[in-house]
Amino acid sequence: MDTLLADLRYALRTLARSPGLTLAAVLTLGLGIGANTAMFGVVDRLFFRPPAHVRDPDRVARIYVTTTMPSYGTNTMPIGTYPRYEDFRDHARSFTAVAAYGAGRFSLGLGPQAERVTGRLVTASFFSLLGVRPELGRFFGADEDSVGRAAHVAVLSWEFWRRRFGADHAVLGKALQLGRNAYTVIGVTPQGFAGIDLDVPDLWVPLTAAASEVMGPGALGPRYFWLSGVIARLRSGVNPVQAAAEATGIYRSRFVQSGDSSGTVSLGSVHEALGPNVSSDTKLSVWLAATCGLVLLIACANVANLLLARAVQRKREIGVRVALGASRGRLARQLLAESAVLTALGAVAALLITLWLGPVLSYSLL
C-alpha cells in the first residue's frame, strides 16, 4: 500500500510539471466520455429503457396500418380514428385489452390566473392495459368513459400533483377548471409514469369527455384523424404475427366501404422510436450518438499521441533512472499510476460535463 501511495504521489508531481499536457489530456477525455455518457442516456430512453410502471412491456404493442392510395402512395400510420379503435376493441380476440390515446393542451383556471397544462385523452382501458396502479385515489372506469355519458374526471401526474398542489392528499375531490368544464380530481399516477410516451403530461382525462372540446364536434366520428395511436396487450400464447393477421382481417372487413380494404395492420414496439414512423428528433439522436462515438475514438487517439510524445521526451529521464537501479517493474507501475491519475481526472471532468449536458440533450431531443 505504501508503494502504491508513493507511486500515486509521484504521478501527481510528474503531471503537475506538465500542466498544459495534463489539462489537454483531461479535457479531451472529459469531452469524449462526457458526451457519450450524456447521449447514451438519450438513446437508452429512446430504444432500450422500458416505460416506467408498465407491466410486461414486451406484451404491449402499438397498432399501425399500412395503406396504398394512388394519390399518396404507401403510408404506415398509427390508428387515428375512434371508430377504428372501437372495432379492434370489440372484435379482436388476440388482445386482452385495447386502448386509444390522444394529446391535448388545456387552459387551467379562468381569467388572468389561467395557465396552460399538457394532458392526455385516454380510454378507460389505458391504465389497466399498462398494468399501472395509482399512487393516490383511483383511475376512471368504463362507465366514466362511454360516449354520451362520459364523466368529467381527471387523474393528475405525480409531478404535477407535487408541483401544483404540494403533494396534498386532500386534492382528491377538488374541481379543476379545464377549458369550459370542471373536472373532479380522482387520482394521482405514480412518480415517473408517462404512459408509453417520453414526456410526463400534467394530467389524464377520459377521451370521450374531452374529445369534442379539444378537437371540436364530431371528434369521435370516422373522419377525424386525431388520435396519437392505439395500443393493445397481447393475449398469452398469441404472437405478434398472429395478432396482426387477425387485426388485418378486422380492419379490411370493417372498412371495405371506405376504400381501405387493402390495408395491412402491423404491431410495433412500445418504444415509438422503433416503430415505422421515426421522428426527426429520433433520427437526429441516432446521428448524434454515432458522432459522439467517433469523438470518443478521436479523443482516445489524441490522448495516446500526447502520452507517446511525452514518453519520447522522458526517454532520457527513464534511462537515467534505470542506470540508478530502478527496476522495470517499478517504472511500469509508476507509468500505470500516471495513466490512472489521468483517467480519474478525465472521469471527473466527464461527470461534470454529463451533469450539464445530459439535461440539455434530454430537453432538446426527448
pLDDT in tens, the chain (366 residues): 667 777 678 778 878 888 888 898 899 999 999 988 888 888 887 788 888 999 999 999 999 988 877 666 778 888 888 999 999 999 999 999 999 999 989 889 877 788 999 999 999 999 999 999 999 999 999 999 888 778 899 999 999 999 999 999 999 999 999 988 899 999 999 999 999 888 899 999 999 988 887 777 777 887 777 888 899 999 999 999 999 999 999 988 876 555 555 688 999 888 766 666 666 666 777 788 888 888 889 988 988 888 888 777 777 777 777 777 767 777 778 778 888 888 899 999 999 999 998 888 777 766
Angle at 292 between CA 15 and CA 41, to 5 degrees: 100
pTM confidence score: 0.78
Question: Within a 10 A sphere around the Cβ of 77, how many other Cβ atoms?
Answer: 14
Report the DSSP beta bridge partners of residue 319.
Answer: none
Buried b / exposed e along 170-188 (16+ C-beta atoms within 10 A): ebeeeebebbeeebebbbb
CA 239 to chain centre: 25
The CA distance from 306 to 263, in Å, is: 60
The CA distance from 250 to 264, in Å, is: 10
The CA distance from 163 to 176, in Å, is: 15
Nearest alpha-carbon partner for 302 in 59, 98, 109, 30: 30
Q: Where are the domains of the chain?
A: 2-48+281-365, 57-269
Distance (Å) of CA 135 to CA 127, 191, 220, 328: 12, 8, 30, 63
| Cell numbers for 105 | 393542451
Helices (H), the chain: 2-16, 19-43, 82-91, 125-130, 158-165, 207-215, 240-254, 280-313, 315-323, 328-365
Length of the chain equals 366
